[in-house]
Amino acid sequence: MLLQIIINGLLKGGLYALMAMGMSLIWGVMDIINIAHGSFIMLGAFATYWLFTLLGVDPFLSLLPSIAMLFILGYIVQRYLINLIIRSSAFITLVLTFGIEIFINNLAQVLWSADVRMVQVPYGAANFSIGTVATVPIVRLMAFLLVIVISLILFYILNRTTLGRSIRATSQDLDAARLTGVDVPRTYAVTFGLGVGAAGAAGTLWSILFPITPMMGGILTLKSFVVVIIGGLGSMLGPLIGGLILGLTEAMGTNLLGATYENLIGFTILVLVLIIRPKGILGGTD
């Protein structure tokens, strides 16, 4: 049973990590806590659901269209909305992203109703056994492997490309980046687009594994925030480590206490991390 709990926790933790990567990227580069992050995850989930329902597109194949659509949406939102108050106080940016979240959630509820939906693929129940002690669902394993692939792609973009160097330079020293010719508004828009695109990818995988609803974004924003705080800003490994820790802890805690306490467990970890190591595991020290 312990091995099964660990497997379940790691597979779910991988999805948490992908959810948090987009938030961590935007927060670390632009110093904006995107309250609408969970709503973008929701849009990615519904993009996959409608592609599957209306056109019969396999949800795993809809990953690229979902990322592309959410990237474009994120780019537009930042370039023509958030960019207007980019140098305002943290409170103003929080209010704006909160307003974006409310708008997206209510528009989705009007368009699609509040019904709970799920992408039900024919191979959804497929699994394989590890001896006689544990079972690994194929769909969850595929989702976990895709999280690793997407993480490696993001790591490559940020560390091995001109765009990535522009993003890192803007994050480290804005004035110096401007002096070296970096187009800061465009870099911010692309960064936000990448973060929202990662949220779209997380939404696609979430729709395959769990039920979806237009109002699911709030709790996903909070979980992403918890993962970022646990892992710490400033490293691509931070969200991955934070996601795996949260996934394992939730799996073990819900096995002992029941599924009702899942969210309580996550926020308890958040409080402990803020007390013991406020900058997170990989966030450095004061």
d(CA 106, CA 48): 19
Q: Give me the chain's average pLDDT, please.
A: 91
Residue 38's alpha-carbon distances to 43, 64, 152, 195, in angstroms, are: 9, 19, 22, 11
> In the block, which residue shows the tokens 């528009």?
107
The residues that bridge with 130 in the sheet, in sequence order, are 134
Name which of 28, 46, 35 is nearest 200 in CA terms: 46
More confident residue, 73 or 130: 73
Among 25-34, 127-136, 243-252, where is mean pLDDT lowest?
Answer: 127-136
pLDDT beyond 90 at 180: no
Confidence of residue 281 (pLDDT cuts 50, 70, 90): confident
Is the pLDDT reported for residue 274 higher than 90? no
- DSSP letter at 174 equals H
Indicate whether this model's pTM tops 0.75: yes
DSSP bridge partners of 128: 136
Fold for the domain defined by 2-276: ABC transporter involved in vitamin B12 uptake, BtuC (1.10.3470)
Residue 286 has pLDDT above 50, yes or no: no
pLDDT more than 70, % of the chain = 98
Which H helix or E strand runs over 203? Answer: helix 184-209
4 compared with 40, residue with greater pLDDT: 40
Q: Which two tokens stand for residue 241?
A: 């480590």
Any idea where the domains of the chain sit in the sequence?
A: 2-276
Do the Cβ atoms of 200 and 66 come closer than 8 Å?
yes
Over residues 117-131, the mean pLDDT reads: 86
CA distance 245 to 242: 5
Residue 212 sits at φ, ψ, to 5 deg, of: -125, 155
Region 209-235 average pLDDT: 91
Run of H or E including 52: helix 37-55
State pLDDT tens for residues 66-119.
Answer: 999 999 999 999 999 999 988 888 889 999 999 999 999 999 999 999 999 999
pLDDT band at 284 (very low <50, low <70, confident <90, very high): low
**Residue 277 pLDDT greater than 80, yes or no:** yes
- At 285 the pLDDT is 45
**Confidence check: pLDDT of 56 > 90:** yes
Report the percent of the chain where pLDDT is more than 90: 66
